[in-house]
Each structure stands twice: as C-alpha cells, then as structure tokens.
Amino acid sequence: MKYVYFFGAGKAEGSGEMKEVLGGKGAGLAEMTRIGLPVPAGFTISAECCDYYLKHHRKYPKALAQEVNKNLSRLEKVTKKKLGAAENPLLVSVRSGSARSMPGMMETILNLGLNARSVEALARSTNNDRFAWDAYRRFVQMYSTVVIGLPKEELEERLRAMKLRRRVKDDTQVPAEGWRELVGEYKKFFKQKTSKDFPEDPEEQLWGAIGAVFESWNAEKAVTYRRVERITGLLGTAVNVMQMVFGNTGENSGTGVCFTRDPSTGGKTFYGDFLLNAQGEDVVAGIRTPMHLDEMSKRMPKIYRQLERARNLLETHYRDMQDMEFTVEDGTLYMLQTRTGKRTPAATFRMAVDMAKEGLITKEEAVTRIKAEDIERLFYPVIDPQVAREELAKRKLATGINAVPGAAAGKAVFTAEEAEAMARNGDKVILVRRETSPEDVGGMYVAQGIVTATGGKTSHAAVVARGWGKCCVVGCEDLDIDYPSKSVSVNGRVIRQGDWITLDGNEGLVYEGQVKLSVPELPEAFSTLMAWTDKIRKIGVRTNADTPHDARKAREMGAEGIGLCRTEHMFFKDFEQPEKSIERQLAIQEMIVADSVDARRKALEKLLPFQRRDFLGIFKVMDGYPVTIRLIDPPLHEFVPHDRDQQEELARKIGVDVEVIARRVEQLKEANPMLGHRGCRLAITYPEILEMQVRAIIEAAIEAKKAGIKVLPEIMHPLVFARKELQILADATRRVADQVMKESGEKIGYLIGTMIELPRAALVAGEIAEVAEFFSFGTNDLTQTTMGLSRDDAGRFLPDYVDEKKAGILPEDPFQSLDIAGVGQLIRWGIERGRATRPDLKVGICGEHGGDSASVKFCHQVGMNYVSASPFRVPVARLAAAQAVVEENASRKAKKRKGTSH
C-alpha cells in the first residue's frame, strides 16, 4: 500500500478526488499543484496510515519510514534546500487535514527543521536575525506543547516576563536577542520537564510531529466536534509536510484567508482578510484585526491580480465557493489551502441559485447543495423591526464586525464550560469571549449567539458559528472582558454573568438586555430554488395541520394539501373564536361522561357546529387540494379532569352529579392507554362519535362546494388492524355521508382510508386494501409498536442508544428519522401488499418522519404518493423529495457507466 503522496514543481501524485485518503487539505494541495497554482512543495501521509497507527498501538506501517525518507529527499531536491542544514536550510510545516473540514480541531507544527545550527543559517540567508530567532522560538513553543504536551501557559508566562523585562508591548517590538533568550529559557524548561534535551535532529522532530498530528485525531476537542457535526466513518487525519513560506519577513509579506464569494450574503464579490507581516495562524486566531482584500489590492496590486486568478481558477475548477489560505513571502504569492467554504444559510441559497444561473452547475446540483438545516436556519430570528430606534440606541453597548447574521438574546456567560452548564439548566446563553478557540466548541454550540472582543470574519469564532448559522459578532474591541470577575465593561457599563444581552449579527451590534426578536423574510433565492425542487420531485408534499391558520401557513410553505388533520386537537381550543373554547371543552367532556347513548348524542350535537366550522375553514384554505381528516384518536381519559376540584366544576357546569364524573373517569383509566381504548376502537364502541364527525365533514364540504370551493375530503380511520374493523367503519361512514347528501341534494366525492400504524395492519395490508382507498403510514405509532418503545417515555434512555460513546445501538432516534431497517420493512411490505390488492391505492406518510430528510428519501424510494409534514418542515420535505430524484438519477447513471465499462 502506498502511504505517501508527493506534490511540487507542477506535478502531484494525488488529486482533488482523493479526499478520503489525503484529507481535504492534502487533496486540495495536490489539485492546486496540478492546475498550475503556486503551491509550496511537499508530501501528504495518508489517513490510512493514521488508521493503521491508531489501530496498532501507535506503530507505523513498516514501509512508512522508507517512503517518508524518499519523499523528503525529493522535497529537498525540488526546493534545493536541506532539512537542518548549516547552509540554506529547509523548513517544513506539518499539518493535519481529514476528509471533512474540522477547523482548528487538530494540530499543526510550523518551522520544523530549525535547530541551533540551522537557525543561524536561516538568519544569514534571510539577512534577518530577528526573524530567524522568532521562527525558532515559535517552533520550540509549538513542539513543546503539541508534541510533548508541556503546559502552554507556562511557556507564555516566560514570553510575557521577557517582554516585561525588555519593556516592550507587542511581539513585533522584541529584538533578536529577546527571542534568542526566550529559546534558551524554553529549552531549559523542556529539559526540566522531560529530562531530555530539546531535539536537534530534524528527523526526530519530524517523526515527533507526525505522531502528534495522528494523536490529535482523538483529542477531546476533535472528538466533540465530530460528535456535534455528526462526522462519522472517517479513517483519521492525513499529515501534510510542506515547505515553509513566511508571511512575516517584512512589509512585503503577509498572510490571508479569502473566499471566492461573500460567505455571509452569497454575493459574487471577492472577499477576505489579510494581515501584513504575519505568520500562518495569526489571521485565523483573530488576535490582530486584519485588513480587507480591497485595501490589500491597493498595497500589493500584482499579488492581488494573481490571487484573483487563483480565485477564478479554483471556483471554476471545484464549481463551488472556495475558502483559500495564502501567504505572500517577499512579494511572491503561495497558495496554502483551498476547501469548500462554509457559508450562512442565506448565502447557501444565493450561491446555489447564482451558480446555476451562471451555468457553473446544473439546477439539479443546486438542489443538492442545500441541507435541511439551511432551510431551518433561514427562519432564524432578527431584531424585531417594531423595536423603536431610540430604545435600541439606549441599549446599544458596542459595535463589532457582523460575522454571522441573525439575532440572538441570552444570558451573558464567559466560559464555554459554564455556557454548557447553564444551557443544561434550560437557560438561553450568549457566549462572550476575547476570542474563541477549538476548546470552546461545546459552549459555542449550545449558545444562542457568540460575541468576541477580537478577530475578523475569518476568526475561529466566525468560521465555526457560520457553519452552524449561529449569530456571531466579532472584533468588538470596546468589550473589556474580565474573566476572573465574570464581567465585561463597556464604556462605563458593566454586564455580569447571567445578565441578558442581545446580539445583532446582521449589523454587528451588541445590546444590553433582552431585545424582542422576530423571524425574517425569506431571501429571493429561496423561492427560486424551492420552485426548482417542485419541478424535480415526483412525490407530493402535504402538511399536518389542524386549523385554518396552520393550513394557511403550510400553503405559504408550499404544501399541496393536508395529509393529517387531527380532529381532537380542535376539541380544546377554538382557534378562530377563542372565546368559544370553553363551550367546546364542555361539549366534549359532556360527551365523554355521558352514561347513555342519548346523553352522548345530545353532547355531540353541541360539538357538531364547531367541527363543521373548523372543516369549512380548512377546506377554504385548501381550495383544490386534498384534505385528509382523521377521526378521533386519543384515549378519552385525556379529555376529562382528574382532580376533584375540576371534576366538581365540570359537574356544576354540565349539571350532573360529581360522583358520576368521578366514576366515569375511574372507568376510563387504563394501564396502557397507548395500547388501549383509542383510535378507531372508540368509533367501534361509540359509533355516534363517528356519525357526528362524518356529518360535520360532509356538511362542511357541501357548504364549501356551494361557495365555489373545490373540496377533496379524505376520511381516515386511525389504528385499524383488521379488514373487518375497517369494513364496519367504512359502512358507517358511507351511511352517514349518503344521508347528509340526500338531505342537501348535493353530491360530494370523498375517499375512505386508514392509517397504517400497527405492525398487524402492515402485515395484513392486502386485506385492508380491499376496503381502504388510501393508506397513510402513521410512523409515530408504527415505530412505537414495532420497536416496543414508548414514544412518550423512551426519551429518557434513547440518547444512550444513539450516542456512539455509550451504547451506540441505533444510528438515530427512530422517532426522528425512520428506522428503515425495521419499520421500513413493514412499510415496504404494506405498500406492496396493498397495491397488489388495489393498484391505484394512494399511499402517504403522516408521522413526524414526513419532515425528516432521510425518511422522505425513503418514502420516495418505496413509491409513496406523498409525504405530510408540519408546516415549517414542508420546505425540508420538498427539498428532500427533489434530492431523492437527483440522487436516484446519479446512481442510475453510475450503474450504467459501470455496466458499459465491463
């Protein structure tokens, strides 16, 4: 097996396609070299090697030493320099890089190859003593902390003391002598701690660094990041060993990060930050505030033009927005990294639509560029436009850089750890830091928003927060943060931990207190892209909605009908006329406690007009679209009061003895209500409930029809498990519907169907389809009953089942994302059997899974006619349905290609 891949002098053994093996960075370097961009030479040790190393008790594969030596010689030949040489020495960087970007989570060592001899040579060849010794102290510091694990603070303490002795404030003011002195101290400290001398042999240094990068794959912060980002299935990190170039050799040098398009807005502008006379991580660390690219273009026009060329080449080559790192060494540009850039959700939409319109990608590809989270994050809040300007002016604390848009309010907290603790207690928090580092990701993740006192738009805080679409303000230099007292003072005002603050990530502002937020309007590109998804997808998208209000929202979101209207949700609240809510409640409770059919019918008569009005409202909103109405489902005890006071009140209101109510409530008690007297079983026992509901549906449909509305009612019976059960219900349904139509002289077309939400229903679906005209898979109950997991209680232990670090039995919570291996089989079986009986059987899903991406794709694959999702998840379902088609086409094409190549 080959473990090392060389790149340099216009040629590369690897390529951009080899991300899994070379990591994103290594693949990018190989590809940039191939397409003729200026990349320092080097080699990549593969992620397969990391996998081997971690699995074989920290041993390298046998062939590795030889391969590394060979490639090192090749590097020395290409660069005409030698590692550790007394004349013209080669220095290398050793960097991590896995197949998925994990910004700042793993280790990097710069300036490797320096020792007592080569540092002098570097000073001579650059004619810059100060630079050479600064480079050496950086190396000794990085090596000591990263490779050996010595405490960073103690080294930094020595740096501070040296600066104090020399009475200098900034690192840039430290003379060569100062750095030389510091190197001496660092080495002394190294000896004290390890009982060994600091390694002089560059090869020993190199192997130490390679091992440290591999080890960093399993560092706690890296493991946490992968867990939070759900990154699984990777081999490990690759190691990139590359010739060092220096951005800190003077005013004709510098280092920067740039994006081929604006990562905040998605606009087609070249966007980036540049630091003059700075090295490597200074920009990302956000310690100094950088200059914008347009300012750089004035200072270094030639370099800027070269960079523009790289921008165009790379974006056209990768056909996506790239995030690039570069260094300018004495007027020469070097590209150090390119990767697909993280972006805000709004920018994701804009870029996908713009790129498709420019012809860079197809519409199908544009659709695959969007993730479900991007849609969800579009609905993130902003400062409510109604909040008075004067109020905002009064509350304004500080101005910073608007790194990630959106707005967030929460309690100020100053450490990531405490942020996590407060969030666990249910607090909304804003993480306030001077700067963030990878250790802080846990706290950043739980925070509503993040604000830092330093840094630019490409600082760690900005990059990480952007990936999550989380509101973030950086470079807020007025914030004087005092960690020990857990407070921040800004122009005389003091905010302590726990005090509310609000961030405006669009404007880069920090406000005192809790400012009202509201949900923004969707960007233009959103509707364009969603229209594309509608053209591509084959499966319909309906919504689960119980009120005209929700139905209207769902229509705005693109729903093509209602897949589930839970009628019992109407029993407790009158959404259109709230003052009538009590009347409804009493009617339903009276119906439940009734001790005779007559008494029950009387109560049901009171309910009828309410239900009719509800259905009419929904039919009006869904003019021309199907509406599936499910008859009463939950166990009746859910509707009656359980404590004595409330029972007495109900008795008074409906004029019955309290003992009658108490007895009835007692009667309704079940040990296992979810498996008890619920669903269609209620209508089998109390057909009068069914009669009232069907009457309300058909009467409302007739009224709507008379008003010129196109109504397509679908009457659905829940929790059916046998053909005969449904037959009884269907007969009763038809009887009432015919009667109502006869009374009015109007005809209404309607369907009768059932939910498939019990394993037995799926198993005998062939028989049930003799009666049912449609199936709707109720995957909430189907998951509950197939897996024997209570949907109400399993949350207590399911996290352990899903957590890879604990039991890791399930890949996902099965109530969120369909258990395709188990529940999915029942669905396949049910559809197959159902359609064998009734080929035109309409099939949909109305469990929560109808709004989950992976589950929607499954529904497409098994040939459902539609999915039904809650209103806000309708766009997610539309997107996933379209992606399912694109993915299917791609895999068909790939199969065909494979077939012809044999």
Which sequence positions are flagged as catalytic? 460, 846
Sign of CA pseudo-dihedral 809, 812, 818, 824 = negative
Question: Could you tell me the smallest distance in angstroms from the CB atom of residue 531 to Mg ion?
Answer: 33
Which residues of this protein are in contact with ligand PEP, per CB under 6 A? Answer: 564, 566, 633, 757, 778-781, 846-847
Count CB-CB contacts under 10 A for residue 671: 6
Tokens of 78: 């290409």
Residue 722: CB minimum distance to ligand PEP, A: 18
- Pick 85 or 751: Cβ nearer ligand PEP: 751
What does 564 bind: Mg ion, ligand PEP, none (CB cut-off 5 to 8 Å by kind)?
Answer: ligand PEP
Indicate the residue among 704 and 827 with the shorter CB distance to ligand PEP: 827
Q: Give the amino acid at 358.
A: E
Residue 275 and residue 288 in contact, taking contact as beta carbons nearer than 8 Å: yes
Q: What is the CA radius of gyration of the chain?
A: 33
Question: Considering beta carbons, is residue 414 or 777 the nearer one to ligand PEP?
Answer: 777
Question: Which residue is at the shortest CB distance from Mg ion?
Answer: 781
Helix residue spans in 268-362 (DSSP H) = 282-285, 293-299, 301-318, 345-358
Inter-residue contact 431 to 419 (CB < 8 Å): yes
Torsion of CA 854, 855, 858, 859, to 10 degrees: -140
Nearer to ligand PEP by Cβ, of 355 and 762: the residue is 762
CA 223 – CA 616 distance, rounded (Å): 54
Q: Which DSSP helix (H) or strand (E) runs through 832? A: helix 823-837
How far, in Å, CA of 810 to CA of 818, rounded? Answer: 11
Strand 493-496, strand 401-404: pairing: unpaired
Contact partner at residue 125 from Mg ion, ligand PEP, none, CB < 5 to 8 Å by partner kind: none
Q: How many Å apart are CA 436 and CA 341, to the nearest integer?
A: 20
> What secondary structure, in 3-state letters, does 458-522 show?
CCHHHHHHHHHCCEEEECCCCCEEECCCCEEEECCEEEECCCEEEEECCCCEEEECCCCEECCCC
Helical H segments across 362-415, by residue range? 363-368, 372-378, 389-395
**Contact present, 651 and 658 (Cβ < 8 Å):** yes
> Which partner in Mg ion, ligand PEP, none is near 847 (CB below 5 to 8 A by kind)?
ligand PEP
Minimal distance in Å, beta carbon 632 to ligand PEP?
11
Reading the block at residue 138, the tokens are 């950086």
Contacts of 81 (CB under 8 A, 6+ apart): 88, 89, 90, 243
CB of 3 to Mg ion, least distance (A): 54
Enter the tokens of residue 134.
Answer: 């600064």
* Closer of 93 and 543 to ligand PEP (Cβ): 543
| Choices 193-201, 586-594, 605-613, 770-778; region in contact with Mg ion by CB under 5 A | 770-778
**Would you say 564 and 628 are in contact if contact means Cβ atoms under 8 Å apart?**
yes
Q: Give whichever of 703 and 781 is closer to Mg ion, judged by the CB atom.
A: 781
Closest by CA to 501, choosing from 403, 438, 409, is 409
Residue 846 interacts with which of ligand PEP, Mg ion, none, CB < 5 to 8 Å by class:
ligand PEP
Tell me the C-alpha distance between 772 and 768, whole Å: 6
- In the complex, the smallest distance separating the C-beta of residue 844 from Mg ion, rounded to whole angstroms, is 14
Which one, of 846, 818, 841, 820, lies nearest residue 831 by Cα?
A: 841
Decide whether 141 or 783 has the Cβ nearer to Mg ion: 783
When CB distances are held under 5 to 8 angstroms depending on the partner's kind, the choice from ligand PEP, Mg ion, none that residue 438 binds is none
Cross-strand pairs, 710 = none
Q: How far is the CB of 633 from Mg ion (least distance, A)?
A: 6
Among 20, 273, 614, 781, binds Mg ion (CB under 5 A): 781
Q: Least distance to Mg ion from the beta carbon of 572, Å?
A: 18
Please, which residue, 423 or 755, has the CB nearer to Mg ion? Answer: 755
- The continuous run of DSSP H or E covering 288 comes out as none
**Pair of tokens at residue 672:** 């296992």
621-660 exposure pattern, b = at least 16 Cβ within 10 A, e = fewer: bbeebbbbbbbbbbbbbebbbeeeeebeebbeebebeeee
User: Considering only 116-124, 299-307, 696-704, 771-779, which stretch makes contact with Mg ion by CB under 5 A?
Assistant: 771-779
Choose the one of ligand PEP, Mg ion, none that binds residue 690, judging by a C-beta under 5 to 8 angstroms depending on kind: none
Q: Dig out the tokens for 352 from the structure.
A: 């996908």
In the bound complex, what is the minimum distance in angstroms from residue 849's beta carbon to ligand PEP? 8
Closest residue by Cα to residue 851 from 871, 872, 866, 873: 873
Length of the chain equals 902
**From the CB of 779, what's the least distance to ligand PEP, in Å?**
5
Tell the smallest beta-carbon distance from residue 782 to Mg ion (Å): 8
User: Which one, 30 or 846, has the nearer CB to ligand PEP?
Assistant: 846
Q: In whole angstroms, what is the distance from residue 465 CA to residue 831 CA? A: 43
Min. distance of Cβ 777 from ligand PEP in angstroms?
Answer: 7
Segment 747 to 766, residues that bind Mg ion, using CB under 5 A: 757
Nearer to ligand PEP, 16 or 778 (CB): 778
Give CB contacts under 8 A, 24+ apart, made by 594-599. 595/660, 595/664, 597/688
Tell me how far, at minimum, the Cβ of 791 lies from Mg ion, in Å.
9
Closer to ligand PEP by CB, 564 or 762: give it.
564
Please state, in angstroms and as integers, the Cα–Cα distance from residue 188 to each residue in 143, 184, 287, 463, following that order: 14, 6, 28, 37
Token pair of 446 as six digits? 């739980």
**What DSSP string runs through 527-571?**
HHHHHHHHHH--SEEEEE--SHHHHHHHHHTT--SEEEEEGGGGT
Among 84, 178, 778, 824, binds Mg ion (CB under 5 A): 778
Report the residue number, 476 or 564, with the smaller CB distance to ligand PEP: 564
First to last CA, the chain: 25
Binding site for Mg ion (CB under 5 A): 757, 778, 781
